[in-house]
Amino acid sequence: MAAKTTLNAKNLESLGAQRLAELLVEISMGSAAHKRRLRMELAGNHGSAEVAREVRKRLASIARARTLINWRKVKALKSDLETQRKTITETVAADDPQEAFELIWQFLALANSIFERSNESSGSVIQSFHQACEDAAAIAASAKIDANVLAEKVFKAVQDDGYGQYDNLIAAMAPALGKDGLDCLKTLFIQWSKEPKDKPAEDKREIIGWGSAGPLYEDEIDRTQRDLTVRIALQEIADAQGDVDAYIGQHPEDARKAPMIAADIANRLVSAGRAKEALETLDEADRRGWADMPFEWQRARVETLEALGRAEEAQTYRWTCFEQSLHGEHLKAFLRRLPDFDDIEAEEKAFVHVRAFPDVHQALAFFLNWPAPAEAAKLVVSRKAELDGNLYELMTLAAEALAEKHPLAVTIVLRSMIDFALDSGRSGRYKHAARHLADCASFAPHIDDFGNTRSHDLYVAELKRRHGKKHGFWSLVT
């Protein structure tokens, strides 16, 4: 049973309405966010119209703001935006979807003004706008917005997508737009692409940079950006309409030879039941670096072979790709298609290949990601001389994975980072190296046999012999 002083709804009810109201007023003093929340709750007592009025006021206030949003203010801004967005979608939309639709567009219109005065780089704020695009689509369907009106709104928004806030808008809006709306939207973008752009007089053209061919003019950059916006929009519309040929048509012929674009096209052709064309598209891609083709192209190829009924060839290709890249997804897909028990033998064969792979770090990353910590430990012990302690991110992951059950392997990994820091005189890493040395001391009693690896005491003695004058490091060793 919870104590009577435990903070929960039932215990707080015992304080009575008047005392709770006094406490809320007291707690909200000095907190604009808490005050806004309380005002919103009060507005809710008077219906969604009053709530909508409060939201509109708050959105207008955010739009008027001009102060810089530094990293300290991002969390509060995110919370404020989420409060407004959820109020629109959960309270106003349920009672008045037409009003909610106008409010969610007012919300989306905040993006440019917010990002213009923000250096936020975590991506948390833009997530609110991406979610608002999804919300706008749901509200539009509920409000039964005219398809042409909706198409016009989407068109204008995407034209002004300065910070990527509308990146998912067309895909989200596709169901609400329907066939007529998508056709209208397509027409608007095609018309925009054909509109002439006034070219300023030569002496008034603004140079904003320099390229290999000479000056870069602002009007040329604007035109290039417009062409890119149109092309991406028409690709998204084609996807929404299930029109593979229209999607392909938005890629210049030379661009279709790029492996990633070829893979995208092939995936759509396979989905449309046109696997033969998909394979031709992949085969026409630029394959000068055959062994280094991106994973997406390789995956598209095996899926195309599967769609053509060439399952054995697809399996052979999966294994070849795995042998060349050590990409775990290729191996997992290969093993899934094997009969029971054959997968165990194939996995062991794969592990033998990984252990002998020329790049020990790529092999180590594979075992860590698989995950196979015991195999990672064997690799570290057998190829310790090849480890590069400068790869601190990989080595840190390895140390974390090996710490529980493989004391010798984790010691070798930690020593690789210590040796790099001291051998290269990286004083900025001395603090970490000292911590790693202390960790090595704690692992030493759990190592039954150091084999051809120095014991901890001998290792420390060797460190002192080679780096005894690096007082900045030894002053940190406890």
Q: Are 395 and 416 in contact (CB under 8 A)?
A: yes
* pLDDT at site 6: 73
The Cβ of residue 134 has, within 10 Å, a number of other Cβ atoms equal to 15
Mean pLDDT of 3-27: 68
pLDDT in tens, 264-284: 999 999 999 999 999 999 999
Please report which confidence band the pLDDT of residue 216 belongs to, taking 50, 70 and 90 as the band edges: very low
* pLDDT at site 123: 86
CA dist., res. 143 & res. 447, Å (int): 69
Is the pLDDT confidence value at 397 over 90?
yes
Work out the mean pLDDT of the chain and round it to a whole number: 89
Is the pLDDT confidence value at 40 over 60?
no
* pLDDT at site 162: 87
Is the pLDDT confidence value at 207 over 60?
no
pLDDT in tens, 287-337: 776 567 999 999 999 999 999 999 999 999 999 999 999 999 999 999 999
pLDDT in tens, 64-103: 999 999 888 899 899 999 999 999 999 999 999 999 999 9
pLDDT in tens, 171-190: 999 999 999 999 999 999 99
Q: What is the DSSP string of 373-423?
A: HHHHHHHHHHTGGG--TT-HHHHHHHHHHHTTT-HHHHHHHHHHHHHHHHH
If you compute the radius of gyration of the chain from its CA atoms, what whole number of angstroms results?
31
* pLDDT at site 340: 87
Is the pLDDT confidence value at 19 over 80?
no
CA dist., res. 309 & res. 368, Å (int): 34
Taking the alpha carbons of 8, 11, 14, 18 in that order, is the dihedral positive or negative?
negative
Domains of the chain: 251-355 (1.25.40), 357-478 (1.25.40)
The residue ranking higher by pLDDT, 4 or 438, is: 438
CA dist., res. 226 & res. 195, Å (int): 11
Q: Are 101 and 145 in contact (CB under 8 A)?
A: yes
pTM of the model: 0.77
Q: Which of 111-120, 366-375, 454-463 has the lowest mean pLDDT?
A: 111-120
User: At 122, is the secondary structure helix, strand, or coil?
Assistant: coil
* pLDDT at site 275: 98
Is the pLDDT confidence value at 1 over 50?
no
Mean pLDDT of 216-221: 50
Is the pLDDT confidence value at 36 over 90?
no
Is the pLDDT confidence value at 217 over 50?
no
Is the pLDDT confidence value at 357 over 70?
yes
Give the highest mean pLDDT range of 42-51, 89-98, 118-127: 89-98
Mean pLDDT of 411-431: 97
The amino acid sitting at 60 is: A
* pLDDT at site 30: 63
Is the pLDDT confidence value at 473 over 90?
yes
